[in-house]
């Protein structure tokens, strides 16, 4: 019975999304379509919840159509987790868009954005439920194309540039995924994912390796792993804030989902490949977080922070793969995957909320530059409270959900270290992982606190739109709900993670291994945090009754100060920039000239700081250069004479004959 | 006794003793400066004076400014609840998970930082930026240190660690403890990271953030920092004396009293030590903080590596192994140093540790060899810890330029290079088994790594004086090698080697000084030009 | 051995320090002027001034007073042992030491500093300049003595007053006044 409900619910969901995408094109106002979008997502969310309450990880075949290609979408435990999160978050983003898009009527075409947003979510959900190559790639392309158009929706030249970079990268990735599936399916487009295990078993070791690397590149480039991440900090900030939220919060999770599926299904992934994943993950984490600390555009900071979190997620998955491929420590490895998924869920929530908040902030100060922000907390106390919750939720601090992801990672690493027996390479691997994760965590705190402190506190560097906060209530409520959800996930982390690890094990193996117990009671942690909070409140209210207060201006050493003396975002990150100078491309210009030529002592100084991402020089510039050199060489054979081309034709014919015969 | 009562007693004790701890450090420091100083009980009066005063709220601030003191105080209180400082085995023992504790510490720092930024002054922002940097760079060190103890004890909670750790059977934990001490200094804004008594805004870290707070809020913040200091003091001493902590399950009134007494004694001892340490150190420049964190990190990671290697290879930890480690650590520390005096001091320490190795293997050799080892130890101390440093120091006295030995690498990088070399050496050696040496593999490792480090030192340093030191370290490595093959070398030859060492050092030192006189430089880069 | 004997001297002998009693001997202190009755109330409120934090404000002095104030911190006079200490921010202070005749340029600074100190707060004018205007009295460049700008509770005259005089002046209105 429930199965029927779920099937109908999901069909309603997809039809609703599709209709809301089309509705805008016929109606002048986008609001109705967006309301339908929200409604559909709420239905989808309910379906997801029903699935979890009524089923324990079975596959539900939603339909089975054999109509010029095989189409049999499925819902299973892992996709249902992502499905539910996507629905819930999209519903909130929909609510946010209702007001956000009407605020930006001039800049964007609201109906267009609303329509594309519906198709974008449709594409992502389609990827989650599809179970064979053709539909998977079809929805993947729907997702990519709709997001491509969304990135260039403000029609500025930078957006168009960023969007095309995104299009190129995402299509190279998509073709890698396609190639991987084609190799697995032996050229068949209607390759059923249930067959992955069998198909990969039949491959030679070299092609297994190759297929895995193709998938890693495909999903990794979508998730923004470091050498393939260039598009991410360009494209995400250029989109409207609600779309950036969807892209960073949800689209990256779709890539993670794809990777988890491949990882669990593929037979015997080579050990070395797992090392590559760990390396890329840690590299992304470090690079992402370092640039998140020094970057000065608020949305770019958030985009880099996404890269960092993706790095952590892939490092965790890589570590799990490393041990699964050797068939040792399986309990810990499956536990790690569960922690990864928990972290991915949390990341989906808080990163969406952060991007939505950035939209609210940018709407008030009309700039993306952190250096020009400040003082918003005074104008918008409720929003700033919600934003603080989200910021704290994005950091590994108890009792928030994100804490348990990192906790699980470190605990797993330590228990792996304890079970070592003379495996020196493992020691190095685990130790460097441990150290890197500590550094990433620390710098992540720096980056996030910098955003909050600089944008919300102090004096405004720029004029703030001082309209009442109540007019923005639709913008603020989704953010607060998302932040609170991270908190609630933190409180119930222990049962949720255990349940997820049960799902994963039932998904991956037939045998039931008992999940790794968590020796930390998350509810109790929250209770103690609450108890201490009330203790402080009591001390303040009962013991200390002196509340005399007076307002006066900031201590200024007797010389009036203004906002130009306040610490800016660039200055705030100066120590980190100094300590990590080796890894940061930086160009500093200091020029000073005398105001009056006869007096050299009174000078006017000019200072400029330009941050140039290091990978452009190290990685991409040589590749471009190499391509140009190759192109020059290739041009030599194109002399323009028809005889040459006929000669090539002849050669081609001969070679074909030789290989064919 | 119920856990709840234990926790209550712990909170009340910490709250009551915390201002005294701060006052005691101040008094000790005053005494060491030749002043009489205020009574250690002064902070109690200061805090109550503050509570009576009004609060001034800056115009620029928002609600965050008001919330900060409560959150920071709440974090300190949370530490007093969850860190097992007097009692262990309470019902909330699992809360003392090291990640939770580090999370609570970081939360406190975060809110202090926000409070510093909210007033909109330049000082607050500066302090915030620095505090955030310190908290950020401490994070990996905290994780490494506690992971080590977690690794050794098998428990992720401080509570479990205290029950299972014994520092004297696992001496490498001393390294972790040193790193923990460095963390404590940085977390509590003490020397050399921060000056708690500074009046210069440009040198402030912690003070700059609370510059805008007054009255009750200031009292909260100052109280919170004293509580944090007290808890760190107790935590570190608890790791050294885990038996002084009371198990709640086996409770009696006498035990409770003795536990409180122990805690008092521990706090007094730590505060006196802290006073001495602070009187001897100078505050570091903020932009040299990366060195401080490198040292803390290197020490922490060395502890971890040794812990892992000894557990993987099932090495029982004996005296000579400890001394071999000390030898290597001294050489690693010497690696990043620039001043000749510091380098010589570390060289002397490492030579002294070699004498310790000789002493350590005495019980392992046959009777007639023992005398030989005693002689070796004595000669090592005489020549290498006294004579050679003295000679070189003497020779360098004449020239001021010789007191600095510049390196091609920055200190942080040199430490990392040293560690990489140590790891590489370990992996090349672990497959090698030399007959007759099997029992003392660690000595072989020490010898080879000393030789490698000595050669590396000769490569990365620019000054010819450091070439001498490098040579001496190589020679030390050979000496350890000789120890490993004890019995194969007659005593007279060893004696000869010692005298040759002193003579070589002397001659080389004189020669270098002569080169300096002749060509005006001892920099190898400059001297290279002489060839052309 | 040397270090040990040094430690013994530092920790347990106080031979280098000026004796406490000297600050309480009533040498002729007619010049010392305690203004107003509220000062008693303030001191009672602040636990008889057992722990007071001082912020020094220079309102245009010749720096002579500042040198004397610095001397208060050294090992010989050691203001710390009376529970008094200098702090970096007026927000932390209970007591202001104002020096110098208030020049027109520093009038604003002095006023904002006074406003920035949380009440209750004791204001001490140190030196002839701060008490009366001294040799700059009636100059066009100054606003006059400190009391023209902010309320003053205690005046310690002298050009400059010696550290002993300053400490004596301050301590005479604090706890030891009551003890006597």
Chain B nearest C-alpha distance from C82 (Å):
7
Q: Cα(A360)–Cα(A100) distance, rounded to whole angstroms? A: 8
CB contact under 8 A, B308 and A420: yes
Mean pLDDT for the stretch of residues B455-470: 78
pLDDT at res. C180: 40
What distance lies between CA C24 and its chain's CA centroid?
15
pLDDT at res. A494: 87
Is pLDDT at B437 greater than 50 in this prediction?
no
Cα distances (angstroms) measured from residue A503 to each of A205, A341, B47? 29, 11, 55
List residues in chain A touching C: CB distance below 8 A: 550, 552-553, 555-559
3-state helix, strand, coil in chain A (%, to 5): 75, 5, 20
3-state helix/strand/coil string of A52-79: HHHCCCCCEECCCEECCCEECCEECHHH
pLDDT at res. A202: 80
Nearest to B31 among C11, C82, C116 (CB): C11
pLDDT at res. B73: 94
Mean pLDDT for the stretch of residues B272-277: 92
pLDDT at res. B436: 45
Q: Cα(B347)–Cα(B332) distance, rounded to whole angstroms? A: 10
Q: Which two tokens stand for residue A303?
A: 């985009």
Chain C nearest C-alpha distance from B241 (Å):
27
pLDDT at res. B5: 87
3-state helix, strand, coil in chain C (%, to 5): 45, 15, 40
Kind of pairing between the strands at A586-594 and B87-88? unpaired
Chain B residue numbers touching A457 (CB-CB < 8 A): 61-62, 64, 114, 117-118, 120
Local structure of C85: helix, strand or coil: strand
Q: Which of A276-285, B447-456, C104-113 has the lowest mean pLDDT?
A: B447-456
Mean pLDDT for the stretch of residues A588-611: 85
Nearest to A558 among C91, C113, C118 (CB): C113
CB contact under 8 A, B38 and C80: yes
CB contact under 8 A, B120 and A533: no
pLDDT at res. B242: 86
What's the pLDDT tens digit per position in A410-429?
999 998 888 877 677 888 88
pLDDT at res. C179: 44
Chain C nearest C-alpha distance from B56 (Å):
6
3-state helix/strand/coil string of A443-490: HHHHHHHHHHHHHHCCCCCCCCCCCCHHHHHHHHHHHHHHHHHHHHHH
Count CB atoms within 10 A of the CB of residue A444.
26
Cα distances (angstroms) measured from residue C147 to each of A179, A267, B14, C31, C131? 87, 88, 45, 17, 8
Chain B residue numbers touching C14 (CB-CB < 8 A): 36
CB contact under 8 A, C118 and B211: no
Mean pLDDT for the stretch of residues A62-85: 82
What's the pLDDT tens digit per position in C15-51?
566 677 666 665 555 556 666 667 777 777 777 778 8
CB contact under 8 A, B92 and A424: no
Q: Cα(B174)–Cα(B31) distance, rounded to whole angstroms? A: 30
Q: Cα(A238)–Cα(A164) distance, rounded to whole angstroms? A: 12
What's the pLDDT tens digit per position in A294-319?
888 999 999 999 999 999 999 999 99
ipTM over 0.85: yes
Cα distances (angstroms) measured from residue A155 to each of A105, A209, A356, B15, B235? 14, 42, 21, 61, 59
Chain A residue numbers touching C115 (CB-CB < 8 A): 552
CB contact under 8 A, A571 and B125: yes
Q: Which of A588-602, B188-202, B449-463, B511-525 has the lowest mean pLDDT?
A: B511-525
Question: Of C80, C82, C113, C120, which to mutate for an interface test with B (greatest number of B Cβ within 10 Å)?
Answer: C80
Chain A residue numbers touching C91 (CB-CB < 8 A): 555
- As a whole-number percent, the residues of chain B with pLDDT over 70 amount to 90
CB contact under 8 A, A431 and B135: no
CB contact under 8 A, C109 and A558: yes
CB contact under 8 A, A546 and B119: no
* Greater model confidence, A84 or A3: A84
Chain B residue numbers touching C116 (CB-CB < 8 A): 56
Q: Which of A86-90, A340-344, B276-280, B407-411 has the lowest mean pLDDT?
A: B407-411
List residues in chain C touching B: CB distance below 8 A: 10-11, 14, 16-17, 45-47, 50-53, 74-75, 78, 80-83, 85-89, 91-92, 94, 116, 118-120
Nearest to B52 among C14, C46, C81 (CB): C46
Nearest to A459 among B60, B130, B423 (CB): B60
Indicate the helix (H) or strand (E) that contains A258: helix A252-265
Is pLDDT at A467 greater than 60 in this prediction?
yes
Mean of pLDDT over chain B: 83
Local structure of B33: helix, strand or coil: coil
Chain C residue numbers touching A553 (CB-CB < 8 A): 112
Using a CB–CB cutoff of 8 Å, tell me whether B59 touches chain C.
Answer: no
What's the pLDDT tens digit per position in B392-426?
777 777 666 666 666 777 777 788 888 888 888 87
What's the pLDDT tens digit per position in B173-194?
888 999 999 999 999 989 888 8
Quickly tell me which residue has 């000769």 as its tokens: B458
Residues A256/A224, Cβ–Cβ less than 8 Å: no
Nearest CA in chain B to C78: B35
- As a whole-number percent, the residues of chain B with pLDDT over 90 amount to 27
CB contact under 8 A, C83 and B31: no
Chain C nearest C-alpha distance from B182 (Å):
25
Q: Residue A3's pLDDT band (boundaries 50, 70, 90)? A: confident
Q: Which two tokens stand for residue A232?
A: 């991410």
Mean of pLDDT over chain C: 82
Cα distances (angstroms) measured from residue B101 to each of A407, A438, B80, B166, B187? 12, 14, 11, 22, 13
Its sign, for the CA torsion A353, B61, A441, B165, is negative
Is pLDDT at C96 greater than 70 in this prediction?
yes
- As a whole-number percent, the residues of chain A with pLDDT over 90 amount to 29
Chain B nearest C-alpha distance from C41 (Å):
13
Nearest to C143 by CA among C97, C96, C106, C109: C106
Chain B nearest C-alpha distance from C138 (Å):
34
Subunit partners of chain C (3 or more CB pairs within 8 A): A, B
pLDDT at res. A513: 62
Nearest CA in chain B to C118: B54
CB contact under 8 A, B216 and A544: yes
Quickly tell me which residue has 């000297």 as its tokens: C22
Local structure of B336: helix, strand or coil: coil
Residues 368-407 of A with CB under 8 A from B: 374-375, 377-378, 381, 384-385, 388, 392, 395-398, 403, 406-407
Nearest CA in chain A to B132: A446
Is pLDDT at A87 greater than 90 in this prediction?
yes
For residue B88, which phi and psi values (nearest 5 degrees)?
-120, 170
Q: Cα(B89)–Cα(B249) distance, rounded to whole angstroms? A: 7
What's the pLDDT tens digit per position in A169-196?
888 999 999 998 888 887 777 778 777 7
CB contact under 8 A, B35 and C46: no
Question: Of A547, A551, A558, A559, which to mutate for an interface test with C (greatest number of C Cβ within 10 Å)?
Answer: A558
CB contact under 8 A, A558 and C106: yes
pLDDT at res. C24: 67
3-state helix/strand/coil string of A213-227: HHHHHHHHHHHCCHH
Q: Residue B447's pLDDT band (boundaries 50, 70, 90)? A: confident
Mean of pLDDT over chain A: 86
What's the pLDDT tens digit per position in A334-387?
888 999 999 999 999 999 999 999 999 999 988 888 888 888 998 899 999 999
| CA angle in degrees (0–180, nearest 5) for B198-B199-B203 | 65
pLDDT at res. A195: 79
pLDDT at res. B473: 85
């Amino acid at each position: 019975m429930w199965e029927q409900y779920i099937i109908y619910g999901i069909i309603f969901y997809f039809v609703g999304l599709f209709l809301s995408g089309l509705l805008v094109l016929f109606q002048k106002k986008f609001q109705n379509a967006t309301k339908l979008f929200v409604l559909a997502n709420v239905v989808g969310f309910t379906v997801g919840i029903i699935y979890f309450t009524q089923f324990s990880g079975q596959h539900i075949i939603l339909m089975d159509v054999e109509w010029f290609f095989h189409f049999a979408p499925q819902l299973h435990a892992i996709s249902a987790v992502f499905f539910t999160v996507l629905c819930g978050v999209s519903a909130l983003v929909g609510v946010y868009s209702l007001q956000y898009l009407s605020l930006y009527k001039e800049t964007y075409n609201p109906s267009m954005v609303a329509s594309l947003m519906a198709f974008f979510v449709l594409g992502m959900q389609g990827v989650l439920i599809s179970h064979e190559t053709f539909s998977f790639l079809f929805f993947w392309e729907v997702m990519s194309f709709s997001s491509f158009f969304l990135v260039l929706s403000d029609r500025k030249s930078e957006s168009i540039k960023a969007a095309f970079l995104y299009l190129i990268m995402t299509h190279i990735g998509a073709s890698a995924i396609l190639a991987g599936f084609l190799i697995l399916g032996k050229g068949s487009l209607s390759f059923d994912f249930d067959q992955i295990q069998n198909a990969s078993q039949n491959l030679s070791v070299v092609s297994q390796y190759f297929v895995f690397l193709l998938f890693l590149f495909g999903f990794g480039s979508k998730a923004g792993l470091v050498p393939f991440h260039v598009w991410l900090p360009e494209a995400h900030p250029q989109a409207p804030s609600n779309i950036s939220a969807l892209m960073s919060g949800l689209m990256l999770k779709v890539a993670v989902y794809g990777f988890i599926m491949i990882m669990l299904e593929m037979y015997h992934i080579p050990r070395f490949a797992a090392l590559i994943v760990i390396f890329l993950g840690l590299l992304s984490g470090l690079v992402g977080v370092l640039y998140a600390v020094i970057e000065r555009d608020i949305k770019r900071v958030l985009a880099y922070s996404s890269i960092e979190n993706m790095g952590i997620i892939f490092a965790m998955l890589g570590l799990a793969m490393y041990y699964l491929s050797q068939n040792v420590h399986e309990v810990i490895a499956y536990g790690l995957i569960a922690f990864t998924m928990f972290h991915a869920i949390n990341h989906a929530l808080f990163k969406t909320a952060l991007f939505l908040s950035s939209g609210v902030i940018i709407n008030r100060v009309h700039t993306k530059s952190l250096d020009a922000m400040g003082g918003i907390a005074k104008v918008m106390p409720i929003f700033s409270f919600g934003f603080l919750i989200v910021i704290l939720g994005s950091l590994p601090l108890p009792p928030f959900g994100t804490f348990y992801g990192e906790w699980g990672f470190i605990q797993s690493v330590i228990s792996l270290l304890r079970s070592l027996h003379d495996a020196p390479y493992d020691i190095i691997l685990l130790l460097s992982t441990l150290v890197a994760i500590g550094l990433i965590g620390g710098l992540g705190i720096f980056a996030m606190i910098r955003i909050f402190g600089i944008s919300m506190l102090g004096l405004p560097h720029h004029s703030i739109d001082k309209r009442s906060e109540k007019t923005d209530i639709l913008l603020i409520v989704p953010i607060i709900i998302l932040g609170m959800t991270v908190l609630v996930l933190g409180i119930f982390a222990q049962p949720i993670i255990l349940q997820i690890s049960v799902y994963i094990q039932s998904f991956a193996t037939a045998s039931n291994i008992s999940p790794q117990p968590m020796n930390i009671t998350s509810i109790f942690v929250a209770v103690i945090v609450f108890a201490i909070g009330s203790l402080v409140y009591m001390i303040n209210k009962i013991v200390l009754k002196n509340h005399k207060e007076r307002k006066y201006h900031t201590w200024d050493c007797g010389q009036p100060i203004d906002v130009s003396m306040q610490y800016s975002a660039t200055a705030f990150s100066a120590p980190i920039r100094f300590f990590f100078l080796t890894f940061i491309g930086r160009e500093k210009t200091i020029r000073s000239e005398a105001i009056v030529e006869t007096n050299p002592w009174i000078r006017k100084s000019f200072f400029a700081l330009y941050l140039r991402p290091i990978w452009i020089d190290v990685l991409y510039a040589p590749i471009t250069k190499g391509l140009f050199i190759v192109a020059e060489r290739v041009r030599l054979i194109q002399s323009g004479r028809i005889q040459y081309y006929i000669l090539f034709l002849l050669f081609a014919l001969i070679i074909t004959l030789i290989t064919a015969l | 006794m119920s856990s709840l009562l234990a926790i209550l007693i712990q909170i009340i004790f910490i709250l009551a003793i915390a201002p005294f701890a701060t006052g005691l450090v101040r008094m000790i420091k005053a005494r060491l400066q030749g002043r009489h100083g205020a009574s250690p009980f002064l902070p109690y009066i200061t805090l109550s004076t503050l509570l009576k005063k009004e609060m001034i709220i800056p115009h620029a601030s928002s609600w965050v400014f008001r919330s900060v003191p409560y959150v920071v105080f709440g974090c300190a209180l949370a530490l007093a609840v969850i860190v097992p400082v007097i009692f262990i085995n309470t019902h909330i023992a699992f809360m003392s998970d090291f990640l939770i504790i580090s999370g609570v510490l970081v939360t406190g720092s975060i809110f202090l930082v926000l409070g510093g930024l909210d007033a909109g002054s330049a000082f607050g922002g500066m302090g915030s930026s620095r505090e955030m940097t310190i908290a950020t760079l401490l994070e990996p060190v905290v994780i490494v240190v506690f992971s080590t103890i977690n690794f050794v004890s098998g428990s992720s909670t401080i509570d479990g660690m205290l029950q299972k750790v014994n520092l004297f059977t696992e001496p490498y934990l001393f390294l972790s403890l040193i790193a923990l001490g460095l963390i404590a200094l940085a977390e509590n804004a003490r020397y050399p990271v921060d000056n708690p008594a500074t009046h210069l805004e440009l040198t402030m870290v912690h003070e700059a953030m609370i510059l805008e707070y007054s009255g009750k809020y200031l009292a909260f913040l100052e109280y919170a920092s004293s509580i944090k200091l007290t808890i760190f003091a107790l935590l570190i001493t608890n790791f050294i004396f885990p038996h002084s902590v009371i198990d709640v399950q086996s409770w009696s009134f006498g035990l409770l009293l003795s536990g409180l007494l122990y805690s008092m004694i521990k706090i007094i001892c730590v505060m006196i030590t802290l006073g001495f340490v602070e009187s001897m150190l100078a505050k570091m420049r903020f932009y040299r903080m990366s060195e401080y964190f490198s040292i803390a990190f290197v020490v922490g990671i060395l502890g971890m590596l040794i812990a892992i290697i000894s557990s993987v290879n099932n090495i029982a930890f004996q005296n000579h192994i400890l001394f071999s480690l000390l030898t290597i650590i001294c050489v690693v520390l010497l690696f990043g140093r620039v001043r000749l005096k510091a380098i010589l001091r570390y060289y002397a320490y490492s030579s002294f540790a070699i004498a310790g190795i000789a002493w350590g293997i005495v019980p392992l050799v046959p009777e007639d060899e023992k005398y030989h080892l005693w002689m070796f130890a004595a000669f090592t101390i005489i020549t290498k810890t006294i004579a050679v440093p003295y000679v070189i120091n003497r020779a360098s006295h004449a020239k001021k330029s010789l007191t600095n030995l510049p390196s091609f690498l920055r200190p942080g990088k040199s430490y990392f290079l040293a560690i990489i070399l140590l790891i590489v050496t370990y992996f090349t050696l672990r497959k090698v088994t030399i007959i007759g040496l099997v029992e003392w593999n660690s000595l072989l490792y020490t010898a080879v790594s000393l030789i490698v480090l000595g050669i590396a030192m000769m490569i990365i340093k620019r000054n010819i004086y450091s070439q001498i030191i490098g040579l001496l370290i190589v020679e030390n490595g050979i000496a350890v090698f000789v120890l490993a093959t004890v019995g194969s070398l007659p005593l007279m030859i060893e004696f000869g080697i010692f005298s040759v060492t002193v003579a070589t050092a002397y001659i080389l030192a004189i020669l270098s000084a002569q080169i300096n006189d002749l060509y005006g430089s001892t920099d190898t880069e400059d001297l290279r030009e002489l060839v052309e | 051995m040397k270090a040990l004997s040094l430690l013994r001297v530092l920790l347990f002998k106080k031979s280098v320090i000026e004796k406490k009693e000297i600050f309480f001997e009533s040498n002729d202190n007619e010049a010392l002027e305690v203004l107003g009755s509220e000062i008693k109330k303030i001191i009672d409120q602040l636990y008889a001034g057992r722990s007071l934090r001082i912020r020094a404000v220079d309102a245009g002095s010749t720096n002579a007073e500042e040198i004397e104030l610095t001397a208060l911190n050294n090992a010989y006079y050691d203001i710390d042992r009376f529970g008094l200490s200098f702090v970096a921010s007026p927000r932390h202070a209970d007591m202001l030491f104002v020096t110098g005749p208030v020049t027109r340029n520093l009038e604003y600074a002095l006023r904002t500093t006074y406003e920035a100190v949380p009440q209750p707060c004791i204001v001490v004018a140190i030196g002839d300049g701060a008490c009366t205007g001294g040799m700059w009295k009636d100059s066009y460049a100054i606003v006059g003595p400190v009391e023209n700008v902010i309320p003053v509770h205690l005046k310690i005259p002298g050009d400059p007053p010696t550290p002993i005089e300053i400490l004596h002046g301050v301590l005479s209105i604090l706890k030891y006044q009551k003890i006597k």
